Amino acid sequence: MPKPLIGLTTTCTPRRAHPAIYGTNRPYAEAVLQAGGLPVLIPNDPSDNDLDLLLTRLDGVLFTGGYDIDPACYGHPPHPEIEKPDAERDRVEIYLVRAMVQSSRPFFGICRGCQVINVALGGNLYEHLPEQLPGNLHLENHAKPRDHLAHAIHVQPGSRLAAILPAGESWVNSLHHQGVRDIASGLRVTATAPDGLVEAFELPGHPFALAVQWHPEELQAQESMRSLFGAFIQACQG
């Protein structure tokens, strides 16, 4: 069976005196490869028509992590803690989310990817958790190793996520200062952190539409986190 082509969304990184670079962290591509897929980078400047053409050749899309979504995308005012918003990336990813839902193609969101899926489908975000979520766990741990297990999550029984992760609590890493505030209509919350923050959701009835707030690509030493990518690639093969 041919390996499925998986589109990975990207960050545009400016460079002084050199052209900007489109890219994403290497562990995303490595996790896709290990699970049996072939990663393809999606730049942030195609037209909507070109994105439609690209989607006819992709078997799934992985919405990767990155900098913050512009609050204007979900009707909130600017916030001083917003980091490096990119209007073109926001446009491309929101378009892709809606196209993947409409076409029933598999997609998986991680960290920013989780947040942009919620925004694209009508939800909104906490712009800065330390300020806006009382009792939050201070979930930005960039000074620690990226595989540092920061807190437990509770997975909802009967969900797609529960069929992938082991029963009971799981421990995850945490590398974000934003998170889902109001979940979009139609999405089902499938995991939460001890402070109540949404850690995962899915779109019921879709072949594979799953998003997580943590970074499973950085936890590939754990069989359960490899299984997340395995389930995604299996859905893309279908």
Q: Is 114 a catalytic residue?
A: no
Which residue matches tokens 């409409």?
Answer: 102
* Torsion, Cα of 32, 36, 38, 43 (10° steps): -30
- Choice among 111, 151, 176, 236 that is catalytic: 111
* Torsion, Cα of 54, 57, 60, 62 (10° steps): -40
Is residue 111 a contact partner of residue 216, using CB atoms and an 8 Å limit? no
Residue type, 47: S
Is residue 121 a contact partner of residue 113, using CB atoms and an 8 Å limit? no
- Choice among 93, 199, 217, 218 that is catalytic: 217
Q: Which two tokens stand for residue 168?
A: 């009971």
Which residue matches tokens 């909802």?
Answer: 156
Q: Is 151 a catalytic residue?
A: no
Question: Under the phi-then-psi rule, with left for phi > 0, alpha for psi from -120 to 50, and beta for the rest, what region is 234?
Answer: alpha
Distance CA 116, CA 108 (A): 11
Q: Is 93 a catalytic residue?
A: no
- Choice among 151, 176, 177, 215 that is catalytic: 215
> What residues act catalytically?
111, 215, 217
